[in-house]
Amino acid sequence: MKILIIGGTGKTGRHLIKQCLKKGHQVTALARKPDKLKYDDQNLQLIKGDVLKPESLEPAFKQQDAVLCALGHKRFFVKTNILSEGTKNIVRAMEHHGVRRLICITALGINDSKYRLGLYYTLFTIPLILYFYFKDKAHQESIITDSNLDWTIVRPAQFIPGRKTGRYKHGSKTGHFILTKLISRADVAHFMLQELTQERYLHQKPGISY
């Protein structure tokens, strides 16, 4: 497949690129600083672009079969619309170029998965640290669910470093009210790639955790 990866310079995005290339997909990575990616692979194309600058997105979306989005940032304590605004531009570019399949990472704890990231996140981390970030993520989800695309929203538990195992839970009941469940970025990438070909969660928002 021809796959466009957004956020490919990030920690999850790098796993997505590596796993897509290993599966023989033709990969395009859209990045603000493509030089951060040092892969030498003829199936990887790097395109400079910023999701907040719609005009910079055009070349990347041409003739793609699917978009995998691992967009994120670290501006936690200020009001932000980077994820929602960026996703709005991604959805528009997909619609413009007739690319239908979008698989996008958000997080457990958002919208109808509220409380599923455990008590510590529910009572402390989300209200005190991630308030604006999660608000923006909730908006990001609604932009995706309101679109006419063939979308899947992937909601990971808390990230931990770790290898791809292929063994994890997924679905709407993932996560826990009291405990904070964990998942590696490598396994999140694995799940997204599986979803690309199996489409078990079309128009759904599965969580993923060990």
Ligand X SMILES: NC(=O)c1ccc[n+]([C@@H]2O[C@H](COP(=O)([O-])OP(=O)(O)OC[C@H]3O[C@@H](n4cnc5c(N)ncnc54)[C@H](OP(=O)(O)O)[C@@H]3O)[C@@H](O)[C@H]2O)c1
Residue 190 structure tokens: 């694995």
How far apart, in whole angstroms, are the C-alpha atoms of residue 111 and residue 176?
Answer: 15
Structure tokens given for 175 = 């996560």
- 37, with CB counted inside 10 A (0-12, 13-18, 19+), is middle
Least Å distance, CB 43 to ligand X, is 19
Does the protein bind ligand X through residue 73 (CB under 6 A)? yes
Q: Which stretch binds ligand X (CB under 6 A): 16-24, 31-39, 93-101, 163-171?
A: 31-39
Which residue has its beta carbon closest to ligand X? Answer: 10
Using rule CB under 6 A, residue 50 touches ligand X:
yes
Report if residue 33 touches ligand X, rule: CB under 6 A.
yes
CB of 122 to ligand X, least distance (A): 14
Question: Is 10 an interacting residue with respect to ligand X (CB under 6 A)?
Answer: yes
Shortest distance (Å) from residue 56 CB to ligand X: 9
Say if residues 151 and 99 touch (Cβ distance below 8 Å): no
DSSP 8-state secondary structure symbol assigned to residue 107? -
Beta strands 207-209 and 26-31 are unpaired
Instruction: Note whether 158 binds ligand X by CB under 6 A.
Output: yes
Instruction: Report yes or no: 116 and 109 within 8 Å, Cβ to Cβ.
Output: yes
The binding site for ligand X (CB under 6 A) comprises: 7-13, 31-33, 36, 50-52, 70-73, 82, 86, 105, 107, 156, 158-159, 185
